[in-house]
Amino acid sequence: MRHLSGKWDFRPDPQNQGTRKRWFRGFTKDRAITIPASWNEQYKDLRDYLGPAWYQTRFDWPGSHQNKGIFIRFGSVNYLAQVWLNGFKLGQHEGGHLPFVLEVTRLIKKKGNLLVVRAEGFLKPDRVPPGNVPPGPLDSFNNNFNPPASFDFFPFCGIQRPVILFSVPNESIQDVTVTTEISGNTGLVQVKSLATNAKDSALRVSLEGFGFKATREVPIQSGGCTAFLKIPKAKFWAPSSPHLYQLKVELRRADKTIDQIKLLVGIRTIKINKNKILLNGKPIFLKGFGRHEDFPGKGRNLPPSALAKDYRNMRWVGANSFRTTHYPYSDEDMAMADRLGFLVIDETPAVGLFFKKEGLARRLKLCRQFTKEMIDRDKNHPSVVMWSLANEPHSKRAAAQGFFKNLAQLARSLDQTRPVTLVSYLGTSENSFRFLDLVCVNRYFGWYTEPGDLDKAIPRLSRDLDAIHRKFKKPLLVTEFGADAIPGSHANPPIMFSEEYQEAMISRYIELMNKKPYIAGTHVWNLCDFRTAQATHRPNSMNYKGVFTRDRRPKLAAHLLRRLWKTKRGNR
Ligand code: GCB
């Protein structure tokens, strides 16, 4: 395996001439750029530039080609990527925030390879997430952002996650799906595997950890097989004890290992029972945040030190969960959640969907693609406890229900072990909650309505949550609530945009929600302040609803959460 991150050549292409001029065969660089990171925070003149832009890098691949396939993996390119190696087109991928893999076996040379990427992130109504949405009578948006995103985070562009080269044997393990069950104190682990071209071979599956070790060998039939392992007195995975076992899956023939995959496995179950979420058969209350991959100078990328700091901060306040608002996060983030014991609501990039006929079939096709890519990538993470199909769709049109039925069916066909939901601002009129497993709503009474008046806002919140629960009778998560606080802005009595108002609002929300037994979790919006597009309601092009600043320093509200969530009362 080889990382291609670092400095690449870069050239913006505002006249869109690169394809005609065959820049894919190599171009004269305009400047250097760092990968992985968005281009918008690296150069002043690129701040609002959405593409197209060209990247190139040269590399050697001294490794052997014999009986191997060689591939290149992009962790994420936002939004549309076209890729060439040595002048030949490898393929393209639509959608930021999810990985794609391209085969390079026939084209790669031992020395002097030229890899070229063209990326663009135009905002268009038939993309996901949509942008540049014309205002319409039923679909409330646009928020009048510049650039014209129909969502509230900056539409950062470019190669935003690592690029890696790797090889696999021609006969190889293609896919591993691990599911776990619990019976008393015994853990049951099922490992399903697919392998290509593997004749007369077997899969050897070994699980090891906490003094336990077992191996099963099963013959491969018609490309796949399943192995079962029983772990007596198993150590279960949970936020307070994120125990991970080491799993090794080997493709074996004639006493030789041809290919192998290693994974960390958490034995745990996640189920819904009436108003509760059950982890390993016991009710668990989700306390945590919505977040963003957002960091100064990097854009939509968290350097390892910032990612580690986010986890330390979440731990410090006593959080046990987060939602990947509003797109799947990096592989590194998911691995950290497994290791440190965070429960993750994994969300697709479908934010701000609308259901006018025009472009709808294309948006559905993309949502299906992203749902599948997300589940394929994240299905083996014990931290991932549910799938969120969308954030704040404008679902009043009837077409929305068919759309989400279709996506829910897809998610359930790919994974029968996790609940499926979506996150709504509508509440009682989000009819898709009838067929989803739990109800997730975002609430901003006291901010966008009843501004500055918590005495009016809190009773309204109370009535609203009760009505939603009466209608759907499912566990309810309040997946967003919060207020902007400009760091260092203080007021007594509290007023909007002061740290005191943010603290008061969060405190009164939590106090109320703790009294409602049907609430299964509360996520504050947001862990950190984050960049968004310019708008009259976004001073400094920032959303200041973080309880930590963009450079990860605590505001008053972070101290409040620490007091609430670390005590018994807050720990329900
Ligand atoms: C929401 C959105 C989130 C916004 C937030 C806000 O409901 O889901 O993306 O950033 O409100 O601060 O307005």
| 347 tagged catalytic | no
- Closest-CA residue, ligand 1 atom 10, reads 152
Q: What torsion do the CA atoms of 123, 127, 132, 138 make, to the nearest 10 degrees? A: -160
Q: How would you list the strands of the sheet with 270-273, edge to edge?
A: 270-273, 276-279, 282-283
Which are the contacts of 539, defined by CB distance < 8 A and separation ≥ 6?
486
| 480 tagged catalytic | yes
Please report whether residue 165 resides in a domain: no
Please report whether residue 230 resides in a domain: yes
Amino acid at 439: V
Please report whether residue 276 resides in a domain: no
Q: How would you list the strands of the sheet with 202-209, edge to edge?
A: 212-219, 202-209, 245-253, 256-265
Please report whether residue 290 resides in a domain: yes
The domain of 21 spans 2-160
472 vs 567, residue with greater confidence: 472
Q: Verify that 152 and 174 share a domain, yes or no.
A: no
pLDDT in the model for residue 457: 98
pLDDT at 223 over 90: no
Residue range 484-496, pLDDT digits in tens:
999 999 999 999 9
Give the mean model confidence (pLDDT) for residues 209-213: 97
Average pLDDT across the chain, whole number: 95
Ligand 1 pocket test: which of 151, 326, 523, 525 has the largest number of ligand atoms within 8 Å of its C-beta?
525
Please report whether residue 271 resides in a domain: no
> What percent of the chain clears pLDDT 90, i.e. is strictly above it?
91
pLDDT in the model for residue 540: 97
Last residue within a domain, chosen from 106, 133, 160 = 160
Among 293, 392, 430, 499, the one annotated catalytic: 392
Atom of ligand 1 nearest to the CA of 325: 9
Last residue within a domain, chosen from 122, 137, 160 = 160
CATH code at 208?
2.60.40.10
Q: Verify that 197 and 310 share a domain, yes or no.
A: no
Cα distances (angstroms) measured from residue 213 to each of 6, 193, 209, 229: 40, 20, 7, 10
pLDDT in the model for residue 65: 76
Q: Does ligand 1 lie within 6 Å of residue 391's CB atom?
A: yes
Residue 450 gets the label, from left (phi > 0), alpha (psi -120 to 50) or beta, of: left
pLDDT in the model for residue 568: 55
Q: Verify that 151 and 65 share a domain, yes or no.
A: yes
Residue range 73-99, pLDDT digits in tens:
999 999 999 999 999 999 999 999 999
Q: Does ligand 1 lie within 6 Å of residue 545's CB atom?
A: yes
Q: Verify that 113 and 195 share a domain, yes or no.
A: no
CATH code at 404?
3.20.20.80
pLDDT in the model for residue 542: 98
Give the mean model confidence (pLDDT) for residues 353-378: 96
Q: Verify that 215 and 349 share a domain, yes or no.
A: no
> What crossing angle do the helices spanning 360-378 and 399-414 adopt, rounded to 10°?
20
Among 41, 347, 373, 480, the one annotated catalytic: 480
- Closest-CA residue, ligand 1 atom 13, reads 152
> What percent of the chain clears pLDDT 70, i.e. is strictly above it?
97
The band of 571, judged by pLDDT with boundaries at 50, 70 and 90, is low
User: Could you give the CA distance from residue 173 to residue 560 in angstroms, rounded to a whole number?
Assistant: 49
Q: Does ligand 1 lie within 6 Å of residue 392's CB atom?
A: yes
Amino acid at 83: V
User: Could you give the CA distance from residue 121 to residue 124 in angstroms, rounded to a whole number?
Assistant: 9
The band of 31, judged by pLDDT with boundaries at 50, 70 and 90, is very high
- Whether 205 and 249 have beta carbons less than 8 Å apart is answered as yes
Q: Does ligand 1 lie within 6 Å of residue 535's CB atom?
A: no
Please report whether residue 300 resides in a domain: yes
pLDDT in the model for residue 256: 93
User: Could you give the CA distance from residue 211 to residue 229 in angstroms, rounded to a whole number?
Assistant: 15
Instruction: Output the CA 293–ligand 1 centroid distance in Å.
Output: 15
Residue range 248-287, pLDDT digits in tens:
999 999 899 999 999 999 999 999 999 999 999 999 999 9
Please report whether residue 273 resides in a domain: no
DSSP annotation of 564 reads H
Q: Verify that 343 and 241 share a domain, yes or no.
A: no
Q: Verify that 125 and 175 share a domain, yes or no.
A: no
CATH code at 105?
2.60.120.260
Instruction: Output the CA 444–ligand 1 centroid distance in Å.
Output: 9
pTM of the predicted structure, to 2 decimals: 0.97
Which are the contacts of 4, defined by CB distance < 8 A and separation ≥ 6?
35, 57, 59, 72, 115, 162, 163, 164, 165
For the chain, the domain total comes to 3
Ligand 1 pocket test: which of 291, 484, 524, 543 has the largest number of ligand atoms within 8 Å of its C-beta?
543
Name which of 57-71, 126-140, 449-463, 525-539 the model is least confident about. 126-140
pLDDT at 139 over 80: no
Buried b (16+ CB within 10 A) or exposed e, 16-39: eebeeeebbebbeeeeebbbbbbb
pLDDT in the model for residue 526: 98
Q: Verify that 431 and 499 share a domain, yes or no.
A: yes
Name which of 49-58, 141-150, 242-251 the model is least confident about. 141-150
pLDDT in the model for residue 178: 98
pLDDT in the model for residue 221: 83
Last residue within a domain, chosen from 215, 230, 265 = 265
Q: How many Cβ atoms sit within 10 Å of the Cβ of residue 144?
A: 12
Q: How many Cβ atoms sit within 10 Å of the Cβ of residue 184?
A: 8
pLDDT at 199 over 80: no
Q: Verify that 196 and 323 share a domain, yes or no.
A: no
Instruction: Output the CA 403–ligand 1 centroid distance in Å.
Output: 22
Buried b (16+ CB within 10 A) or exposed e, 152-181: bbbbbbbbbbbbbbebbbebbbbebbbbbe
pLDDT in the model for residue 73: 98
Ligand 1 pocket test: which of 291, 323, 348, 392 has the largest number of ligand atoms within 8 Å of its C-beta?
392
Q: Verify that 92 and 14 share a domain, yes or no.
A: yes
Please report whether residue 153 resides in a domain: yes
Q: Verify that 292 and 360 share a domain, yes or no.
A: yes
The band of 224, judged by pLDDT with boundaries at 50, 70 and 90, is confident
Q: Verify that 192 and 151 share a domain, yes or no.
A: no
Give the mean model confidence (pLDDT) for residues 525-554: 97
